[in-house]
Structure 1
Amino acid sequence: MNIAIVEDEAITALFLKDTFEEFGHNILCMYDNSAEMLEFLNKNRNIDLIFMDIQINGKLDGIDLAYEISIKYPKISIVFITSFKDDETIDRAKIVSPLGYIIKPVVESDLNAILMVVESFKRNRQVVDNNIVEIGPYIYEKESKTVREADEIIYLSKNETIFLAYLIENKNSYISHEQLIMKIWNGESNREVSLRELIYRLRKKMPDLHIKNVPKIGYILAAS
């Protein structure tokens, strides 16, 4: 994993760096303040995990920094490392939904355990991400073949679902009328009108779906 460390105690920061590298992970950056961490993220977004002290330098403490990161970069996981174990601080930290909260002094076994948890979480989330396609305001779930807008299910017919799934599979590529008719109706003749009616119904149900029709070429699901 690609890891960032935000820690104002140099000895702790070096211990974390050495331990993570020993475990085979990449340390992309080490900072003791919020401003430099945010500046780094503006240019580099390939961080998987941030180990965050709560008492750090800068205008934001570790919890406020983690909250801002969670809003801007929701796929970055956060683990807090801190001396604070009072209920008030822990309650503040919960808002960020961290994957761990380690009380100092830090030991290698704690780090190894939390890394295993984070790796498992990311594997499971990748499975979910691979099953979900975002199309503008719509969410298409491949496994269940379900379309949602916000929390509302958009009910599609069997052929509408086949058509949409085929467009998603070939997103940003033109699909000819003949290919669509073959996919939906197994190549039955005289289905051009049926295809136009299907697309009309789908556009009514999903008005923000960007289906572009180019005469004599075909249809394309354009990037929104």
Structure 2
Amino acid sequence: MSKILVAEDELAINKMICMSLNITGYETVSMQDGQEVLDYLAAGQSADLAIVDIMMPKVDGFALLEPLNKAGIPVIYLTALGDIESKVRGLSGGAEDYMVKPFEMLELLLRIEKILKRTGKSDELIKLDDVILDMKKRTVSKKNEQISLTPMEYDLLCILAKNRNIALGRDKILHEIWGAGFEGETRTVDVHVAALRRKTGLHIASVPKIGYRLEVGE
């Protein structure tokens, strides 16, 4: 399970991010000022990635970048500072990504996953109740028996698994799997979801007027 450090002084945003990360299978460490982050690192603690606000009390996000990088923790800045100077300072200083508030949680989750994969810190095995998804081998098994999926079915399961317990729209799924240039109908998603339900036995709930949500226990 990947551990994400969330350094955000606005409590409501901090809780929302942590809750969303937890229900999608991440472990979170919540902090509300920069000094907490420095104390955490000084105690020898680590994380697989840090989401950092810039305008925090005691020690700001810019000052945290160097110690986080030295600890081998990639950083995503999530801040209200949208000016080009702040973006350049953050990215040139070594941040992996820079997002401006307000933001979409799904976009943040996708960026987190891409960074964890690029840095080799993403989970290779994802447990979905009694189904095991092996991201490295691209295999799916249930009770130690292999499940045969088509490449599209596998990619769809990956998208649902990485965003488990979160509703995903059909258009979003189409874009992620088939690409922006796909000209088919959203019915394509329905057909592949039906196949996944039949083959895996997973609870993929239909969300009215939106799409689908893979529901798994904690």
TM-score scaled by length of structure 2: 0.52
Structure 1 residues 21 and 78: alpha-carbon distance in aligned structure 2, compared to 1, 3 A threshold: same
Residue aligning to 2:79: 82
Amino acid at match of 2:57: N
How large is the RMSD of aligned CA atoms in angstroms? 1.8
Alignment of 1:102 onto 2:99: yes
TM-score (structure 1 length as normaliser): 0.51
The reply on whether 1:51 has 2:51 as its aligned counterpart is yes
Aligned-partner Cα distance in 2 for 1:96–1:76:
14
Aligned equivalents of 2:102, 2:25: Cα separation in 1: 22
Give the percent of matched residue pairs that are identical in Structure 1 and Structure 2.
Answer: 21
1:132-184, Cα deviation, whole Å (9 max, x unpaired)? xxxxxxxxxxxxxxxxxxxxxxxxxxxxxxxxxxxxxxxxxxxxxxxxxxxxx
Q: Assess if the C-alpha contact under 8 Å between 1:102 and 1:110 holds in 2.
A: no
The alpha carbon displacement at 1:103 in A equals 1.1
Task: Summarize the Cα distance change of 1:77–1:43 in structure 2 as closer, same or farther, 3 Å threshold.
Answer: same
**Separation of aligned partners in 2, 1:107 and 1:52:** 16
Aligned counterpart, 2:61: 62
Distance 2:25 2:67 in 1: 28
Runs of 4+ with deviation above 4 angstroms: none
Query: Do residues 3 (structure 1) and 4 (structure 2) align?
Result: yes
Aligned match for 2:114, one of 112, 117, 121: 117
Query: Gaps (5+ residues) in structure 1?
Result: 126-224
Query: Do 1:48 and 1:76's aligned partners in 2 also have CA atoms closer than 8 Å?
Result: yes
2:22 maps to 1:25: no
Q: Distance in 2 between matches of 1:80 and 1:8?
A: 13
Distance in 1 of aligned mates of 2:41 and 2:87: 25
Q: Name the counterpart of 1:41.
A: 41
Match of 1:203 in 2: none
Q: Which has the higher contact order (CA 8 A, sep 6+)?
A: 2
Aligned positions, number: 121
CA distance in 2, matches of 1:57, 1:46: 21
Query: How far apart are the structure 2 equivalents of 1:23 and 1:99?
Result: 21
Larger Rg: 1
